[in-house]
Amino acid sequence: MRWVTFRADATGDDSAGLVVESQVHALPAGETLLSLLGDDGERLANAGERARHDPAGVFALDDVMLRAPIPLPPTVRDFYAFEQHVKTARKRRGLEMDPDWYELPVFYFSNPHAIGGDGEDVAVPPGSAEMDFELEVAAIIGRPGSDLTPEQGEASIAGFCVMNDWSARDIQRREMKLSMGPVKGKDFATSLGPALVTPDELESARSGRAYDLTMIATVNGREYSRASLAEIHWSFGEMISYASRGTRVAVGDVVGSGTCGTGCILELALVHGVERFPWLQPGDEVVLSVDRLGSLRNRVVAGAPLLPLR
């Protein structure tokens, strides 16, 4: 199944709907994707049957405004799971791979209140001149749990979507020197969408620790990045298992894969030069596409001015 959260018009409320070919079959008002999660998938499957055969409304997919599938998730964890991306970034800084990267699927927490969807503009964060995209896939937790095994972690996934972990690299560099991880360099925007695709839709593409799904990023129609989700080093089940260690993952939590190899300007500029791969500017259109998951399209716009702290 392919589920979307949408608005029939710009001033309307969020609705949940099932994508059926080029149409959206809406659920009754008040039913959200988040409210349909929490079990083994039965509620979502039953809602899909209702939406398919007895929809509360039918809309052309091209006529609705898509939102993030889960517009306000409880948490957003973004991992660092593609070896090529990590190795390239470290090598250009004169660093070898840390052996512990192969032991711990590390992540950071991002900002649930900065989630956006397909087609939404993304503002340059105040004070940044080095805005970047990150080509990722996200898993949405459908069943809560604590201290999960990797097998239980994978079974907890309700679905997948495309993820763009927007980054302000100049701000991020300053923050990382202070040993507190990425904060304002990351928390201004994360885009998710266009749809929540249930795992059964991907099963025939299973390969390696994930699925053989081509991942592509374009900027203003020019291809920047191309990779496969199958190249991931840590599986989503392993990442979720680690995330749940000593705590819990909750329904609707977002688990990002981290950037795929070649999947950001930072990596591309380190290898090929910033002249060939310049930082994003207002007016640029970034499109992230993943086989079977769809395309996530966003335009960069000017942001607010930088206000002094003192």
CB neighbourhood size of 291 (10 A): 15
How many angstroms separate the CA atoms of 55 and 51, rounded?
4
Asked if 229 contacts 212 with a C-beta cutoff of 8 angstroms, the reply is yes
Stretch 118-144: mean pLDDT: 98
How many angstroms separate the CA atoms of 35 and 140, rounded?
13
Asked if 202 contacts 195 with a C-beta cutoff of 8 angstroms, the reply is no
How many angstroms separate the CA atoms of 155 and 173, rounded?
36
Stretch 70-76: mean pLDDT: 98
Which of the 8 DSSP states describes residue 70? Answer: S
Length of the chain: 310
- Is residue 7 packed enough to be buried (19+ CB in 10 Å), middle (13-18) or exposed (0-12)? middle
Stretch 60-67: mean pLDDT: 97
pLDDT of amino acid 49: 97
pLDDT in tens, 298-310: 999 999 999 999 9
How many angstroms separate the CA atoms of 6 and 32, rounded?
10
How many angstroms separate the CA atoms of 131 and 199, rounded?
32
| DSSP count for the chain of H helices, then E strands | 6, 23
Stretch 273-295: mean pLDDT: 98
pLDDT in tens, 211-222: 999 999 999 999
- 190 pairs with which residues across the strands? 115, 165
